[in-house]
Structure 1
Amino acid sequence: MTFEVRWPDGAVENCYSPSLVMHDHLTAGASYTVAEFVDRSTTALSEASERVRAKYGFACTSAAATTHQIITSAARYPDGAKVDVVSMSPPL
């Protein structure tokens, strides 16, 4: 699945997850502080990677890459600034 986020400076970024588990942690249209978004998204991506490991015997490198992408992007902003989850596809 993909999810699109808008960072505090208005930059929009597309992110990938190998699992719909993102819907358990993020909501399309919601805003989170940078710190909360990093926590929620990296927890979800870790769960997604573990689902891949359970099914295929190895962790998902795409989930790890997205985690790195989010952490790198988030480092540019204060923890209390707002991140918007613009969309999640496919929706539930």
Structure 2
Amino acid sequence: MPEMRFNIRWPDGSVESCYSPSLVIKDYFVPGTSYRLADFLERSRIALTIASDRVRAKYGKPCSRALKQRARIEDAARAFVDHPHPEVNIISFEE
């Protein structure tokens, strides 16, 4: 399966490189676009779940790295729930 990374900028300006075992991320995000935090979380949940399910279909078990990345995003997002207008920017994709 083609792996990829998607680089994001959190509302505080910090940058993070995120992992996906599938290119499905490209169906949910556009580089250079900012997403409201709730929208970013929903899109990342869906995309990383699909990516993990694709690994399960091919190899018989879900992708633990994708599920850990989803959890990492959820944990990091908690820091911004009280931010006035939290947005996450998709900086770039790396294949």
TM-score category (smaller protein): over 0.9
- Percent of paired sites with the same residue: 47
Question: Which of 20, 27, 31 is the equivalent residue of 1:24?
Answer: 27
- Unaligned runs of 5+ residues in structure 1 are none
Tell me the equivalent position of 1:89: 94
Q: Which runs of at least 4 in structure 1 moved beyond 2 Å after TM superposition?
A: none
Measure, in 1, the Cα distance between the counterparts of 2:29 and 2:53.
Answer: 18
Query: How many residues in Structure 1 have an aligned counterpart in Structure 2?
Result: 90
SS in 2 for 1:83: strand
Once the two structures are superposed, residues 23-43 of structure 1 have per-residue CA deviations (whole angstroms, 9 ceiling, x without a partner) of 001111110011100100110
- Root-mean-square deviation over aligned CA pairs: 1.1
Q: How does 1:1-92 map to 2 (within 5 A)?
A: 1-78=4-81, 80-90=85-95
**TM-score normalised to structure 1 length:** 0.94
Paired letter, 1:66: Q
Paired with 1:21 and 1:44, the residues of 2 have a C-alpha distance of: 6
